Amino acid sequence: MKEPSHRWPALAVASGLVLTALSLALAAYSKDLTKEAARAECAARASYLGFLIQRGLEARLDDLAAGPSLPVEIERAWRLSEGAVVEQRGAEGQPPPAWLAEVARFERAPPPGLRPLPLSEQGPRGLRAGTWLPGPGWLVQWDLPALKRALVEPALSEVGADARYRCVLIEPDTRREELELKLRFETPLFPPLSSWNVGVGYADESALRWGLRLQTAVLYLLALGSSLLLVTSLTLFARRERRASLQAQVREQFLARATHELQTPLALLRASVETLQRGSLSDSDRERCLGIVGREEERVTRTVRRLLRYLRWESAPPTGELWRWEPACEVIASALDDARPGLEAAGLSLEVDLAECPPEAEAPCELLRDTLSELLANARKHAGEGAQVSVRLTRREAGVRLIVSDTGPGLGPNPGALFEPWKQGEGAEEGRAGSGLGLALLREGWSHVGGAIRAEAGDPGARFVVDLPPRA
């Protein structure tokens, strides 16, 4: 099969490292980050509350300057010009109080001709609020209870419409421990209400605490999952690298063996051709050289064909539709007729039992023929002179089963290793070893058409079992 790119394990490791570090950092700082975010939300609501109240004050002052009426939130007002009172509303002939003149002085725009009283003569300002408008020259004394009812409390209700938050007005005599609210943010209002503070907090602190715990738990789980991903990626990466290293080592060994295997028949071919080119050969010598040419050409062709098939199947595995299906009995009989002379020449006897072969059974012709050719060639190489080779076909629930066995020395302690690419049997001798691809290609081919091939230890000898699938 085609090996996956080296990029993906590296990306998985990098992703695991980044996710693990990020998750641990978030888990460590999530509580502080969430609290800071909650404080920022409360601060934004407090700022919006101050904006609403300031806008309401400006609207009342605009109403005062625009007409003769006095807004209900303003208790008294005096308009001054060149130090003299030219207009008053709600004052009933009373002059501006001294503390209001101090307000004007404090705001750095005292009315001309109005001298504020010394600080020692000022009264308490906790429940008093005044404003000086230098443009039109109005000194304004606010009615704090009316201002609280008509402006501040509606603004508190508007900002606190979200059920998650509560907004409260904190007056100078308010005890914060009696508010039954954990203040997340507190700030004073703009003048002239700077002696009042507004506070914002969560309506349900328990929900926030549980949310923080859940968030922290989720982040720790994410960190754990990222760590597992990292460990898994590193493990898979290490396994893949080890497997790739072993495959490269085995492939180098195979290339060395394949080169040696090709060099031998090519040398025989070259020697036979040179002998034929020299001429003056007897008929027997000519026949011997031609036999060598034919035999070695077949050996080279078979090796090259296996190499090409293996490389092709690595990139595009075969499917059942690519094979030509023919009656299994006919294919087996034809393949046995082709192999019988070679077995007899090697001193092996062949026993065939196809009595249970159903006439309707079909199989991939080329794959089945290659299977018999490979198994019988292996028996000819390794079973030894005088051994018996048996080919038997039996029925099974789905399809038929082909069994090829011999009475040779056997397969060794690990028969399954014979089907790995580039592997050869433990008894393979120098000069008689194959490419190590034949059985691997057979297993690959049968698996892609729905069949299977396996090796078993015979009693004695070797035993190969091929499960032929029914045609889809």
Strands (E), 96-206: 130-133, 138-142, 165-170, 183-188, 197-202
- Range of weakest confidence among 41-55, 212-226, 289-303: 212-226
Residue 399 forms part of a structural domain = yes
For residues 458 and 405, what is the distance between their CA atoms, to the nearest angstrom?
7
Of 142, 168, 186, the one marking the end of a domain is 142
Per-residue pLDDT at 39 exceeds 70: yes
The larger pLDDT score, comparing residue 325 to residue 298, is at 325
* 430 has a pLDDT exceeding 50: no
Helix (H, G, I), strand (E, B) or coil at 83: coil
Per-residue pLDDT, 404? 92
b/e map of 20-48 (b: 16 or more CB within 10 Å)? beebbebbeebeeeeeeebeebbeebbee
Count the Cβ atoms, other than its own, within 10 Å of residue 179: 14
Range of the domain at 340: 317-468
Taking each helix axis from N to C end, the angle separating 365-382 and 328-345, rounded to the nearest 10 degrees, works out to 20
The whole-number average pLDDT for the span 192-208 is 79
pLDDT at res. 316: 61
Query: Which has the closest alpha carbon to 326: 372, 376, 375, 368?
Result: 368
More confident residue, 389 or 123: 389
- Amino acid 318: pLDDT: 59
* Residue 317 · residue 444 · CB < 8 Å: yes
Q: Give a yes or no: residue 406 inside a domain.
A: yes
Mean pLDDT of the chain: 77
Asked whether residue 279 carries a pLDDT value surpassing 50, the answer given is yes
Last residue of a domain, one of 97, 120, 142: 142
Contacts for 304 with CB less than 8 Å, ≥ 6 apart: 262
Is 368 within the bounds of a domain? yes
Amino acid making up residue 104:
A
Domain boundary among 126, 142, 158: 142
Over residues 90-145, the pLDDT tens digits come to 877 888 887 777 766 655 444 444 444 333 333 444 456 888 887 788 888 888 88
Among 232-236, 313-317, 372-376, 442-446, name the most confident range: 372-376
30 part of a folded domain? no
Per-residue pLDDT, averaged over 414-432, amounts to 60
State pLDDT tens for residues 51-87: 998 899 899 988 988 888 889 899 889 888 877 888 8
Number of neighbouring beta carbons within 10 Å of residue 180: 8
pLDDT value, residue 4: 46
Residue at 253 is within a domain: no
* Digit-coded pLDDT (tens) for 390-418: 999 988 877 789 999 998 888 777 777 77
Task: Pull the structure tokens for residue 381.
Answer: 């190489």
Q: Residue type at 42?
A: C
Percent of the chain at pLDDT > 90 equals 4
Mean pLDDT computed over 237-263: 74
| Cα gap 45→48, rounded to integer Å | 5
In a domain, 340, yes or no: yes
Domain presence at residue 198 = no
Answer for the pair 3, 246: CB distance below 8 angstroms, yes or no: no
Q: Distance between CA 431 and CA 362 in Å, rounded?
A: 37
Q: Is residue 160 part of a domain?
A: no
Cα dihedral 37, 40, 44, 49 sign: positive
pLDDT at 464: 92
DSSP three-state, residue 360: coil
Say how many residues make up the chain: 472
Q: What pLDDT score does 10 carry?
A: 64
Count how many domains the chain has.
Answer: 2
Kindly indicate the confidence band of residue 361, based on its pLDDT and cuts at 50, 70 and 90: confident
